[in-house]
Every structure is written in structure tokens, then in C-alpha cells.
Structure 1
Amino acid sequence: MNKLLETTKNYPMTEIWNDSCSVQELKYCIENGGVGATTNPVIVLNVLKKELPLWEEQLKGIIKDKPHATEDEIAWDMIKLLGKTASKELLPIFNQTNGKQGRISFQTNAKFYRNKDLLLSHAIELASTVENSQIKAPTSKAGVEAFEEMTYQGISINATVSFTVAQAIAVAEAVERGLARRIKEGLSIDTMNPVCTIMAGRVDDYLKKDCKEKGILIEPEILEWAGVAVVKNAYRIYQEKGYRTTLLVAAYRNPYHWNQFIGGKIVLTIPYDWQLKYNSSCYEITSTIDSPINAVYLQQLKQLEEFNRAYLPNGLTLDEFEHYGAFLDTMNQFLNGYDELCKLIRKYMVI
């Protein structure tokens, strides 16, 4: 049995999602126990580049049918189209689980990360794209404020651009407020499935970069565990507090980002290439979610200021979320990726 399928069979609380809206990749994931998928402009750009022959005529058709549309409008039409197409693969799971699984995430415009109202209005628009939608927004100060309102509106959120325990707690508390408002007004929350991402691999990336820039010498293997330590600390707090939001692990860089969370009530959003690597590995499938981080490694990590900002529940204030180094690096990548998507579309418009 493939390792991911064995993971989901033995530990059904541990969900596997496909970190792409490619139908071919999603089908493989579902065959291996996958129950969700995600998109963002960078993912859509990569899928279009890889599968352009499959989408080129539809792109041309949208441009022809909308002679007055901007490249931004066409870009979002393509994002919705790819998401809609992939969502059909998940719809049976969505129906079977009453909305608790089988969702596909659409990401709000990264340019809105400082504006709660723009994030909310775009979330409402994207949520109407398909019935099994989940809506991503960055975990900035405005994003946290928007998550409460999205939840109140009945939208299942997926907090992204998130790297720290402080962000994860702020998201969970915002969702709890939104859910409480719905319950108070007699509105159902039965089908809602909020999740909060921690981009574990990007925590590692940022700390490696920070150590290099500061001339800090540390064993390379220790930095491979930083993101795992952050997720495990957030997971412990989530269980203690009884939050109704589920943690989601993203940004895969090593085996630990999968095999250290087996057995937990957690979502693992895994890119296709890492799914292949994990499935061909020889790791034993056993519950590891409660396995502690090597004490020596954790002690060394706690010597790093930027690790503590990610690891400690009060490591960042709400106002500091969007200024943390990993947030800045990732937001710039998302913004640049969106620009690249528009450039790709522009080639079909300016002819």
C-alpha cells in the first residue's frame, strides 16, 4: 500500500490534500486517500505552464467573449475555471461528508492583504464559485479581522501566509468569534470546516536565510525541525483550547513535514512531487503527532530570536504579523506570481 494511503487508512483524522488544482495530480491524490485541494495564483500559473495545451483554447475563448475585460479580470476567470474543474473531482467526497471534506481552496487577491473589507468582499465572491469552496486569505492583521466576518458569513476559511503559533492562535480565536455569532443568531455551522495553515517549510527557509545573513553557525539538521516544532506547539495549544479550527501543514521540504504529524487531527497539503517521494519511501506509518522534538535540537532553536517569534504563543503581536520575515518573503512571491500570471495572459491579449 502506498504510504499516503496507508496514512489515511490507519489514521483517518490525518487528512491529505493536493497542493494543486491540476486534475491529473488531484486524481492521484484522491486515489491515495486525498480529500481536498488548494489553489492560489502561483499554483494556477504553474498548472497553466505545465498543462497549457489543455487550457489554451479556453483562455482564448474567455478573451474573445470578453472584449472589454482587463488582464486582471481574465486572470481571475482562469483561476475560477481551473478551480471549478478540479472541484468536480472532490464533490462526491464533499457530499458524502456533509461539507467536512472534499473542498477546494480559492485564494483571495494577495494585493488586498492590508484591507479587511476588500478581503471579505473577494472571499464572498470566490465562495460562490462552487459549493465545495474554501477561501484562503493571508494572516495579516486585516486578514484576521476578515476571518471572523467570513466565518460569520458562513464561509469555511483557510488562513494562509501563516508561519507562527501567534498567527495560528489569532486565526482560531477569530473563527471562534465568528462561529459564536452564527450560533447566537440560530445559523448553522454543521457543514463548516475552517483550517489554519502553518507553512512549515517556509519557517525552515526563513530561519536558514536569517542564520546565513547573521553569520550564525548551527547544525543544518536542526533547522530542518524548526517548522515541525512550531506546528507541534500550535497543535498542542489547539487541543488544549478545543478550537474548532483544524491546523494545516503546507510548504514541504523534507520527510518530517509529513511523517511527524501522522495520527493528528490535522491537514497535510502536499505537492504532487512530494506525494510521489513519500509514497516511494520506506518510513513506518505510526502515530508521531505527540512525539516530542529532540530536546537538544529544541534548545538550539530557542537560541534563535526569529524561531522564538514563530514558536512562542506571544512571539508576535497582531500588528507584527505582516512584518515577520517569512510573511514578507512569501507575500512577495505571491504578488510576483500573480504578476507573472497576468503576464502570461497578456501574451494572448496584446496580439
Structure 2
Amino acid sequence: MSEYLGKLHETAIRFPDTDIWMDSCGEEELNYGLERGIVGATSNPIIVGSVIKNELATWEPRICALIDENPEADEDEIAWKLIDEIGALRSKKLLPIFREFQGKKGRLSIQTNAKYYRNTGKMVKQALHLNSLGENMQIKMPACEAGIAAMEEVTYQGVSINATVSFTVAQAVCVAEAVERGLKRRKAEGLPVDQMAPICTIMIGRTDDWMKEYIKKTGIVIEPEALEWAGVAVMKEAYRIFRERGYATRLLTAANRNQYHWSEFIGGDLAQTINYSWHKRLNACQVEVKDRIHDPVKEEYLQELNRLEEFHKAFDEKGMRPCEFETYGAFQATLDTFIAGYDDLCRLIRGYMIYPLPAPEPSLTKAAAATQAEAQLKTRQQI
């Protein structure tokens, strides 16, 4: 019998610089991951919505209690109280790792309101609040012009950031430079930086998604397999630059779409956040766990990808200016998804506000009560 509980567990043990995270703050997901060597986790309103639905017996009573305890609060206020509470609670599962690695690992990334993407001040204010929820929080903000300015400021104030809604080398370099400026300001005032752990995500699967959408829109025909390597190429280029320049910020891969999004980065000094479904798939796969971080993307794939203007924007360090980040197709699509996910969470809470739970019927069996609760949830989701 193997000493490893799957391929990701083997990666975590054999390549400790290649951090494996769970792209969820669900209890089942975190327990599964912690048994297999994860050293970080992520949260956002979409994830929180999934956690509530998967753990309804736990969170439905708490939603109702929050509504009762805050009679003048609207659905947005209740949503953020819930996001705060789940984030603070689940971050505790990672505290032993956080303390063992003195802040460099064991963090829960929690996201500011995606609707604030144009407002630096609002992001800074919320980031400081979210950071206060636990000693091992890491605050996610979008890699757009306003978000990058916010990252510099909160880094100066001692917050470890995680840049999100990020798909390109240009975004990653701008994030890293902003963090360097924030750290320089802290050091100039004698403030500690040794336990800070800034991260920049590149959502490589969504980079691939956008290239595929782009060729649909333009009618360009290219080698299909090349499209599976766009995000890998972008990430490897960003990794090369980060290593050459010695940035304090580490890179994080996200949004897995194929096994390359894990296997091609084994051996790198970076992190990978992987959702529960892909954890299970990769743990059960037959791909060899070996160092591939310095393996180049095949030249034939790069030649195909270089025919796409949108790939140049993603791959070239100067492919876009910060003022252009929020007009990039992958940014627009992902931001829209994040905001829609937040709206879904608010709609779920609205259902409990407008249609309070009826008192349980003593005569119902547990099975009947569960069926009734499921039907009520479906009704609330349709509001």
C-alpha cells in the first residue's frame, strides 16, 4: 500500500515548496485536505454559498439567528456577517500550520466585496476589517488598477494579500511591485514584515477559457491542444520573472481545467489552490509526480498561441497597462461571475428574511423534515 493518500498528498510530501491548498472553506473539504497535506484554503461569496447549501443543518439556524439578532439589517449586511463568521471559524482549522510555519503557510484567503473593484478606499477599509477576523487571514482583492493601489496600502498596514481576478503576467508583475512598495514603506518605519505572506493568483484555467472564447468570437482556427497550455505558459513566464527579481510575493495557480494545471508546476516555489472535485480526481490519477516547473511549453504550442492577440496581452509583461486590466475579457467574465455569486448568496438570505422558517412539526420524521427543508431551500433559491 502506498504511503501517500493520492498524488496531491505525494506532491505535498515530496515537494514541500509546492504548497497545495483547498479551494474551499467547507468543513468536509478542509478535513479531507488537511489529511493530505494542504497548507492553505480559499473563500469567496460563491464558495460560502456552496458551504451553506452543503452544511445546511449547521448554517440555516445561524442565518435565522443573525436575522433575528439584527432586525434592521438588510440582506447584504447579513451576508457579510455570515461570510465573516464562516471565514473566522474555518481559519482556525489552519492555525496549527500557520503557527508552525510562522505565518508563511496556513492562511485562509477571504475576499473583499467584488463590487468594490473600482474603489480603492472601500477595498482598503474592508480588507482591514477582514484581516481582523483571525491571525491567519489573507485578503483577496482584484488585480485591477484600484485593487493594486489598495494592495500596496494594506501591505503597508501589515495585511498579507492575495491578488485575485488575475490572468496575466502584466497583472502579476504589477501586484508584486505594489507589494514591494508597501513592504518598503513598512521597513522604513521599522515595522515587522517577517511573518507576512503575500500571494498573487493567476487563474490559469480561466486564461484558457478566455482564449477559447476569443477564438469562437473571431473564428480563428488553431491547434486545440495549444489552448490547453495558454495558462501554463503564462504562469511559467510569470514564475521566471518572479524568481529572477526575487519578489516577496509568491505565485498561486487557480481554476484547474486539466491535469497540466497541477503537474506542470510540481517542484516550483509556489502554491496551488485546487477545488474539492479536482483534489479527488488528481489524487486518483496515474500521472507521475515529478519536478516539471522548468519544463518549457512546446514551441509548436507557443507558435499557435502567439497568433492570438489576447495571448500576447496575457503572456507579455508589457501586454497591458494597469488601466486596461479591468477591460480584459477574462477579468470581465470572472468579475461578473463573482458578483453574480454574491447576488445568489444575498438572494438565499433574502428568502429567509421574507419567508421565515415555520416551526417544526413534532410529528415529522427526520427524513420528512429533511425533505421539507430541502423544498424550502429550493423555494428560497428561486426568489
Alpha-carbon distance between aligned partners in 2 of 1:104 and 1:206, rounded to the nearest angstrom: 27
Alpha-carbon distance between aligned partners in 1 of 2:127 and 2:15, rounded to the nearest angstrom: 32
How many angstroms does 1:22 deviate by? 0.2
Q: Does 1:276 align with 2:286?
A: no
Which residue is equivalent to 1:221? 225
How many angstroms does 1:169 deviate by? 0.1
The match for 1:128 among 119, 122, 132 is: 132
Alpha-carbon distance between aligned partners in 2 of 1:88 and 1:335, rounded to the nearest angstrom: 27
Which residue is equivalent to 1:175? 179
Which residue is equivalent to 1:100? 104
Q: Does 1:342 align with 2:346?
A: yes
Return the index of the structure with the highest Cα Rg. Answer: 2
The match for 1:312 among 292, 316, 321 is: 316
Query: What is the identity, as a one-letter code, of the residue corresponding to 2:25?
Result: C
Q: Does 1:7 align with 2:11?
A: yes
Alignment of 1:1-351 (within 5 A): 1=4, 2-351=6-355
CA contact under 8 A between 1:23 and 1:85: conserved in structure 2? no
How many angstroms does 1:295 deviate by? 0.6
Alpha-carbon distance between aligned partners in 2 of 1:196 and 1:215, rounded to the nearest angstrom: 32
After superposition, give the CA deviation of every residue in 1:45-92 in whole Å (9 maximum; x if it has no partner).
Answer: 122122222211111111111111111010011111211221111011
Alpha-carbon distance between aligned partners in 2 of 1:28 and 1:14, rounded to the nearest angstrom: 18
Count how many residue pairs are aligned between Structure 1 and Structure 2: 351
Identity of aligned residues (%): 55
Q: Structure 2 regions of 5+ residues with no counterpart?
A: 356-383
Query: What is the identity, as a one-letter code, of the residue corresponding to 1:268?
Result: Q
How many angstroms does 1:39 deviate by? 0.4
Alpha-carbon distance between aligned partners in 2 of 1:33 and 1:268, rounded to the nearest angstrom: 12
What is the DSSP-based 3-state SS (H/G/I as helix, E as strand, rest coil) of the residue aligned with 1:321? helix
CA contact under 8 A between 1:6 and 1:285: conserved in structure 2? yes
Alpha-carbon distance between aligned partners in 2 of 1:169 and 1:104, rounded to the nearest angstrom: 23
What is the DSSP-based 3-state SS (H/G/I as helix, E as strand, rest coil) of the residue aligned with 1:261? coil
Alpha-carbon distance between aligned partners in 1 of 2:91 and 2:243, rounded to the nearest angstrom: 30
Alpha-carbon distance between aligned partners in 1 of 2:48 and 2:85, rounded to the nearest angstrom: 10
Alpha-carbon distance between aligned partners in 2 of 1:248 and 1:279, rounded to the nearest angstrom: 19
CA contact under 8 A between 2:110 and 2:139: conserved in structure 1? yes
Alpha-carbon distance between aligned partners in 2 of 1:306 and 1:49, rounded to the nearest angstrom: 37
Alpha-carbon distance between aligned partners in 1 of 2:57 and 2:318, rounded to the nearest angstrom: 49
CA contact under 8 A between 2:25 and 2:42: conserved in structure 1? yes
How many angstroms does 1:110 deviate by? 0.6
Alpha-carbon distance between aligned partners in 1 of 2:154 and 2:202, rounded to the nearest angstrom: 19
After superposition, give the CA deviation of every residue in 1:319-338 in whole Å (9 maximum; x if it has no partner).
Answer: 00000000000000011111
CA contact under 8 A between 2:223 and 2:304: conserved in structure 1? no
What is the DSSP-based 3-state SS (H/G/I as helix, E as strand, rest coil) of the residue aligned with 1:276? helix
Query: What is the identity, as a one-letter code, of the residue corresponding to 2:153?
Result: E
After superposition, give the CA deviation of every residue in 1:143-200 in whole Å (9 maximum; x if it has no partner).
Answer: 0111100100000000000000000000000000000111110000011000000000
What is the DSSP-based 3-state SS (H/G/I as helix, E as strand, rest coil) of the residue aligned with 2:71? coil
Alpha-carbon distance between aligned partners in 1 of 2:88 and 2:191, rounded to the nearest angstrom: 27
TM-score calculated relative to the size of structure 1: 0.99
Which residue is equivalent to 2:361? none
Query: What is the identity, as a one-letter code, of the residue corresponding to 1:175?
Result: V
What is the DSSP-based 3-state SS (H/G/I as helix, E as strand, rest coil) of the residue aligned with 1:217? coil
Q: Name the Cα RMSD after superposition.
A: 0.7
Q: Structure 1 regions of 5+ residues with no counterpart?
A: none
After superposition, give the CA deviation of every residue in 1:256-292 in whole Å (9 maximum; x if it has no partner).
Answer: 0000000001110000000000000011111000000
